[in-house]
Structure 1
């Protein structure tokens, strides 16, 4: 039978009360025995604060209250266990909640102890979960800030690189810059020395004055080497219209691959025919 020790307490209480009720009918009982039963009943009543007729109901109410408290506490514990799964260590809460799950067949004092332990463990796991969330939020914020800083640094580096490229392009697009580029490329790529560059300098000075944006109004020849049409220079780079270096690369290749073969030969033809 469920919770036998409680029934024993109730039975003892009822027995004490019943003994008082029927004691008067047994004249043969001694006065000392009667007084002993009265004292026992009084002591029980004093310890509970209840009247004698309430003693039996008290245990029933206490059991119901303990069961209800255990049920509520167990439900809260299970909710916390579900919400904090894989987040914090809830093994202690799981263990004590498992023990409390059998509250319907447990003694009253054990239910009370397990309910208190479960409440304490539930509060501890809840606090640990809140702290874990706080730490995770801080870590996420730091990671986001770090990523943002890295993105800003990358953007700054890209902007600096673009600025340097633009500056280099602007410098290379001047007549002086274009000449320097052409002299270096002629020597490194074709082995043409100062004598050949002198011819090249005169040739392209005549054609475009070394201006990357030069356009001949009579026919539309374009750029430093005066390619016709200008988009021929796309074979050297898609930026042929804005980059003197691309135009120079195409122009040197054109001279090398043509019947001229060298800048001086191209310059001689230009002097004789006014074109090359």
Structure 2
């Protein structure tokens, strides 16, 4: 292989110089040996010192290495960005699943509480409408006494609050605007027929229907009273 002396520094003719101002690499299969080197005045090989025929080779090698370095850096950056995006997406998915699970658990617990309250109200009701003798008329005190025996003790005050606002314990009360009827102002009043055919004249039948309505719709009279306070209807 022929050798070219550059200011006393011997390099192989196939040597690729990767940076202007210094010789840093050699082409495949050609290696500059330490014993071929001769100290130069500045210790540096300049591009201008290389024969014109090899300068293009030097510049091409330098640009190629730079391009490869940039490509490697770009790949590493893209990989890092992709990994970060994947971690973020996984974290967001985990949070969404956790929130959905918590919401489902809360809904399940609320449904359970309503069912338990309804069952407790049903168990605690001491007497049914049929347990009371039918009269031609009833005083407010008599109607309230009936309600105390039919509505669970822990729910009576809530039941009473609703009846106070709806009818002031008048079992024949009629709303002139809507036609709602009775103690609990059923609309229409004929709904109470499901509790007894005497719904128009028997407060016990109205109490029975009203209690069932509050339990079915709100879980209990206290649930109905909470709704009433917020909306002024139930």
TM value normalised by structure 1 = 0.36
Larger radius of gyration: 1
TM value normalised by structure 2 = 0.42
Task: Return the structure number with greater helix share.
Answer: 1
